[in-house]
Amino acid sequence: MSMTPEERIANMTKAINQAIKVMGDRFGSTEEDVARAIQGLKASMQTAPQEKPGPVGAATQA
C-alpha cells in the first residue's frame, strides 16, 4: 500500500523534528536516541516517491 503525499510529508516531518530534538539535546540524548533518530530519517526518505518531479507549475492532465 502506497502512502499519500500528505502521509509522506507528515512522516518525514515527524522524523526531522525527532532528529532535531535529539541532536539539539547533547547531554540528555543517548546513543540509542541518536540511532533511532537517524533510522527514522532514513526510513522517511525511503518512502519518498522515486519518480522525477515534473517542471514547476506544470499542470497534471487526466
What pLDDT does 15 receive?
87
Determine contact, residues 40/22, Cβ cutoff 8 Å: no
If we measure between CA atoms, which residue out of 53, 52, 50, 43 comes closest to residue 12? 43
Q: Is the pTM of this model over 0.95?
A: no
- The 10s digit of each residue's pLDDT in 8-60 is 889 889 888 888 888 777 778 888 888 888 888 888 877 555 555 555 555 55
For the chain, the structural domain boundaries read 1-25
Angle between helices 5-24 and 31-46 (to 10 degrees): 160
